[in-house]
């Protein structure tokens, strides 16, 4: 793995730390705060611009009591100042007394600014396989 790929993976890891910690402050640090950044949560419409994306995280975090994300890295590609990563996430979460578990397929795109890598796009979608059985496995 190249030093640049390691940096991108570190940024990707920081993104999932922010998610697990339900931390808007950490999201502030890892996203590029521009109008052209984009985000697609599983089953949501495309969100356009940092303001709308930040609001979505705030809403998700306010409605979640805990979240654990097991991330399997599937691929990474770095080309000059842009990088993209594909991951499978197994998300276990609790909200309003309800436990849930699902598999999500993700594409994360990063751009480099001043030596750091920032999230500029997050596309997450449910993987039908595993959804049902895993949900049953966790709810006890």
Contacts with a copy of itself by CB under 8 A lie at 36, 38, 40, 42-43, 45-46, 48, 74-75, 77, 79-82, 84, 86, 88, 105, 107, 109, 111, 120-121, 123, 125-129
Query: How far apart are the C-alpha atoms of 131 and 57, rounded to whole Å?
Result: 22
**Minimum distance from CB of 2 to a copy of itself (Å)?**
13
- At a CB cut-off of 8 Å and minimum separation 6, what does 26 contact? 14, 17, 18
Closer to a copy of itself by CB, 4 or 111: give it. 111
Instruction: Answer yes or no: are the C-beta atoms of 67 and 93 closer than 8 Å.
Output: yes
**Minimum distance from CB of 121 to a copy of itself (Å)?**
6
Going by their DSSP bridges, the two strands 98-113 and 47-48 should be labelled as unpaired
Closer to a copy of itself by CB, 26 or 131: give it. 131
3-class secondary-structure state, position 63: coil
**Minimum distance from CB of 125 to a copy of itself (Å)?**
3
Closer to a copy of itself by CB, 24 or 52: give it. 52
HSE-up of residue 23 (Cα within 13 Å, Cβ side): 15
Closer to a copy of itself by CB, 23 or 107: give it. 107
């Amino acid at each position: 793995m190249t030093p640049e790929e390691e940096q991108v993976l570190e940024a990707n890891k920081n993104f999932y730390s922010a998610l697990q910690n339900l931390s808007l402050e950490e999201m502030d640090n890892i996203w590029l705060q521009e109008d052209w950044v984009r985000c697609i949560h599983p089953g949501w419409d495309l969100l356009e611009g940092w303001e709308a994306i930040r609001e979505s995280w705030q809403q998700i975090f306010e409605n979640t009591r805990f979240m654990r994300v097991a991330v399997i890295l599937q691929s990474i590609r770095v080309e000059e100042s842009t990088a993209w990563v594909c991951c499978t996430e197994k998300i276990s979460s609790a909200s309003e007394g309800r436990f849930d578990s699902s598999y999500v397929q993700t594409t994360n795109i990063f751009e480099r600014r001043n030596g750091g890598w920032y999230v500029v796009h997050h596309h997450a979608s449910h993987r039908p396989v595993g959804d049902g059985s895993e949900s049953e496995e966790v709810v006890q």
